[in-house]
Structure 1
Amino acid sequence: MLVMNTPFRELDSWFDQVAGRARSTGEGHTAAMDAYRRDGDVWVHVDLPGIAADSLDVAVERNVLTITGERNWQRHDGDHVYLSERRRGVFRRQVTLGDGLDADAVEADYSDGVLTLRIPIAERAQPRKISISTRSTPASPAAIDASATEA
Structure 2
Amino acid sequence: MLRFDPFRDLDRLTEQMLGVPAGSARAPRFMPMDLYRSGDHYVVHADLPGIDPGSVDVSVDSGTLTIRAERSARTEQSVQWLASERFTGSFMRQLSLGEGVDADRIAATYENGVLTVTIPIAEKAKPRRIEVEVRTEQNVVPGSAEQAQVTTG
After TM superposition, the score normalised by the length of structure 2 is 0.71
Name the CA shift for 1:68/1:138 in 2 (closer, same or farther; >3 Å).
same
Tell me if 1:52 matches 2:48.
no
Computing the radius of gyration from Cα coordinates, the structure with the larger value is 2
Residues in 1 aligned to 2:69 and 2:52: alpha-carbon distance in whole angstroms? 8
Match of 2:27 in 1: 25
Match of 2:113 in 1: 113
Displacement of 1:63 in angstroms is: 1.2
Match of 1:5 in 2: none
Residues in 2 aligned to 1:43 and 1:137: alpha-carbon distance in whole angstroms? 52
Displacement of 1:34 in angstroms is: 0.6
Per-residue deviation, residues 126-151 of structure 1 (Å, max 9, x unmatched)? 11011234675757746xxxxxxxxx
- The within-5 A match list for 1:1-151 is 20-22=16-18, 24-25=26-27, 29-133=29-133, 141=145
SS of match in other structure, 2:132: coil
Displacement of 1:20 in angstroms is: 4.1
After TM superposition, the score normalised by the length of structure 1 is 0.72
How many residues in Structure 1 have an aligned counterpart in Structure 2?
123
Contact 1:22 1:85 in 2 (8 A): no
Unaligned residue ranges in structure 2 (runs of 5+): 1-12, 20-25, 147-153
By relative contact order (CA 8 Å, sep 6+), the higher-ranking structure is 1
Residues in 2 aligned to 1:98 and 1:118: alpha-carbon distance in whole angstroms? 14
Contact 1:59 1:65 in 2 (8 A): yes
Contact 1:49 1:112 in 2 (8 A): yes
Structure 1 residue ranges, 4+ long, deviating more than 2 angstroms after superposition: 73-78, 131-142
Residues in 2 aligned to 1:40 and 1:62: alpha-carbon distance in whole angstroms? 22
Residues in 1 aligned to 2:30 and 2:139: alpha-carbon distance in whole angstroms? 62
Name the CA shift for 1:138/1:51 in 2 (closer, same or farther; >3 Å).
same
Residues in 1 aligned to 2:103 and 2:79: alpha-carbon distance in whole angstroms? 46
Per-residue deviation, residues 28-47 of structure 1 (Å, max 9, x unmatched)? x3211111111111111100
